[in-house]
Amino acid sequence: MKDKAVVFFSRNGSTRIAAGIIAEKIDAELIQLKARKARHGFVVSGFRAVTKKHLPPEGDPWGQIQECSTVVLGAPIWGGNANPVMNGFLARADLTGKKVYLFTVQADPEKAKSDEVLAHYSQRVEDAGGTVAGIFALTGASPGKTADEGVLREALAGWEQLK
Ligand SMILES: Cc1cc2nc3c(=O)[nH]c(=O)nc-3n(C[C@H](O)[C@H](O)[C@H](O)COP(=O)(O)O)c2cc1C
């Protein structure tokens, strides 16, 4: 097990590609969050995000990061809000003593609401005992589409804080 992990949720692959690029860059383990419940369609998923629902992830991603000193968390923005599965992960996470980086992925090139969503995650991370070392907002693709790896790689090269 590596000392670093990139924990992510992705429905259409853009966040997965971004997480993979980051994992390669910092030599981290890749941990994909999967919702325990059946997956919902666009409208229900958006509604659950807007109503700040938590969807607990499958398995034991918490155990997988126990020994890590650095954790990167990434998830798509849904309905202008944080992702319910990432919320479910953070609700039970113990991040005491861990350095945490956060990133969002969304369709909007203007990255509307990313500041709010990253602030929301930052608060959850601090509540869980972690220290936020860096945040980054990425543009992915429109719902149902997957962003181009080269474009994500180029954007991520601008994330100065990530080490
Ligand atoms: C239910 C749902 C709601 C979404 N809401 C937003 C939104 O409010 N703002 C935005 O910019 N993109 C929104 N998107 C687009 C996704 O954030 C975008 O497609 C992202 O690249 C998906 O990442 P993924 O491929 O890792 O799942 C939404 C997508 C879904 C499925």
Domain membership of residue 163 (yes or no) is no
The answer to whether 87 and 51 are in contact (CB under 8 A) is no
User: What is the percent of the chain where pLDDT is above 90?
Assistant: 85
Residue 162 belongs to a domain: no
Q: Measured in angstroms, how far is the CA atom of residue 75 from the centroid of ligand 1?
A: 9
Residue 141 belongs to some domain of the structure? yes
Choose the residue to mutate in 106, 138, 152 for probing ligand 1, maximizing ligand atoms within 8 Å of C-beta: 106
Q: Is residue 73 part of a domain?
A: yes
pTM of the model: 0.95
Structure tokens at 46: 């958006």
Q: Which of 7, 9, 12 to mutate for ligand 1's pocket (most ligand atoms within 8 Å of CB)? A: 12
Number of domains in the chain: 1
Residue 33 in any domain: the answer is yes
pLDDT of residue 9: 98
Confidence band, pLDDT 50/70/90 cuts, at residue 122 = very high
Look at residue 105 and tell me if it is in a domain: yes
- What CATH code is carried by the domain that includes residue 102? 3.40.50.360
* 79 domain residue, yes or no: yes
Residue 161 lies in a domain: no
**Nearest CA, atom 19, ligand 1:** 143
- Span 18-51, pLDDT tens digits: 999 999 999 999 999 998 876 677 777 877 777 7
Q: Is the CB of 79 under 6 A from ligand 1?
A: yes
**Closest ligand 1 atom number to CA of residue 45:** 1
Instruction: Find the domain containing 118 and state its range.
Output: 4-156
CA dihedral sign of residues 72, 77, 82, 87: negative
Q: Tell me, in angstroms, the distance from the centre of ligand 1 to residue 158's CA.
A: 22
Token pair 């059946």: residue: 38
Per residue in 41-86, pLDDT tens? 777 787 777 777 788 899 999 999 999 999 999 999 999 999 999 9
